[in-house]
Amino acid sequence: MKQENRETSKPAWLKVTYDQKKVDRMNKLLSGLKLNTVCAEANCPNLGECFGNGTASFMILGPNCTRACRFCDVPHGHPKPVDLAEPLRVAQATKKLGLTHVVVTSVDRDDLPDLGADQFVRTIHALREITPKTTIEVLTPDFQGQTGCLDKIIAAKPDVFNHNMETVRSITPKVRHRATYSTSLSVLKYVKEHATSKTFVKTGIMLGLGETDKEVYTLMDDLRTVNVDFLTIGQYVQPSEKHYKLHEWVPIERYQKYYHEAKARGFKFVASSPLVRSSYKAKEELMAVYGK
């Protein structure tokens, strides 16, 4: 039998267990409302835990992305027309599940004149109307850096604006389709400068793509230069052979080191461990900041 090497042998932490009945119930609800979640579409390893606890990150604007980033398992293909009833269904699901914090993300929609920004706004407004006490986090594409799109999101006043850097500068061109390191950083900078103080700005990165400590620290410094509030750091899991090659399963000690380095730089909240994803335990971030 061929022995798996260090790069491909999955560590024990990736083998998670969960209550299948709770997951099935969650899937049934979402299917009935014709809603997508990034949890399922991106094959997130935390799907069982989050679905089992009745939480989810809703993915609006359909399941097909107009980009084909080499790290991502979300399907690339011709997207469907915008469903104007979708925001209401997201709000209805949020109320039915009793969520106190909801994450709304989307595929890239470079085919649309507004790049999908208006659907984010409609969803925020629907949530505010139907579940006014629920805090809202948006995890957006880069909108090609167009500030007009960002202004629309800012005006809707989400509690958290999240846009992922994904990785360090040198690796970005190898794994991201159309998106650039500079554009993503400028998006975070613009939102921080133009949003109210009640909107926290957040980003996330993956490890295991071949980055060095120095590159990660430079990224942290770049983020603090534009006053990003929250940072998530998690492990890249290669979805298939056709995706970007996994370089290593990063040891837990390095996550701990990065956590302390990030906190020392002044981030308000840092989550750093292998299973961390952008929206994983997102409510806990706000609770930590507000002290609730």
Residues 6+ apart with CB under 8 A from 92: 33, 130
Which residue reads 């998690």 in tokens? 234
Q: HEC string of the chain?
A: CCCCCCCCCCCHHHCCCCCHHHHHHHHHHHHHCCCEEHHHHCCCCCHHHHHHCCCCEEEECCCCECCCCCCCCCCECCCCCCCCCHHHHHHHHHHHHCCCEEEEEECCCCCCCCCCHHHHHHHHHHHHHHCCCCEEEEECCCHHHCHHHHHHHHHHCCCEEECCCECCCCCHHHHCCCCCHHHHHHHHHHHHHHCCCCCEEEEEEEECCCCCHHHHHHHHHHHHHCCCCEEEEEECCCCCCCCCCCCCCCCHHHHHHHHHHHHHCCCCEEEECCCCCCCCCHHHHHHHHHCC
Listed residue (140, 139, 81) closest to 113, CA to CA = 81
CB 140 within 8 A of CB 156: no
Query: What pLDDT is attached to residue 47?
Result: 57
- Residue ranges of domains in the chain: 12-290
Query: What pLDDT is attached to residue 4?
Result: 42
**Burial level of 253, CB count in 10 A (0-12/13-18/19+)?**
exposed
Distance (Å, whole) CA 55 – CA 170: 35
The angle, 0 to 180 degrees and rounded to 10, between the axes of the packed helices 181-194 and 147-156 is 40
Query: What pLDDT is attached to residue 42?
Result: 45
CB 163 within 8 A of CB 139: yes
**Burial level of 27, CB count in 10 A (0-12/13-18/19+)?**
middle
pLDDT, one tens digit for every residue, the chain (292 residues): 344 444 456 777 666 665 666 666 666 767 776 776 555 544 555 555 555 554 568 999 998 999 999 998 888 888 999 999 999 999 998 898 888 888 999 999 999 999 999 999 999 999 999 999 999 999 999 999 999 999 999 999 999 999 999 999 999 999 999 999 999 999 999 999 999 999 999 999 999 999 999 999 999 999 999 999 999 999 999 989 999 999 999 999 999 999 999 999 999 999 999 988 777 666 677 777 776 4
Which residue reads 């952008």 in tokens? 278
CB 154 within 8 A of CB 190: no
Q: How far is CA 13 from the centre of its chain?
A: 20
**Burial level of 263, CB count in 10 A (0-12/13-18/19+)?**
middle
* Count, residues in the chain: 292
The predicted-structure confidence for 241-278, as pLDDT tens digits, reads as follows: 999 999 999 999 999 999 999 999 999 999 999 988 77
**What pTM, to 2 d.p., does this model score?**
0.89
CATH among 3.40.720.10, 3.30.750.200, 3.40.1400.10, 3.20.20.70 for 12-290: 3.20.20.70
**Burial level of 54, CB count in 10 A (0-12/13-18/19+)?**
middle
Query: What pLDDT is attached to residue 55?
Result: 59
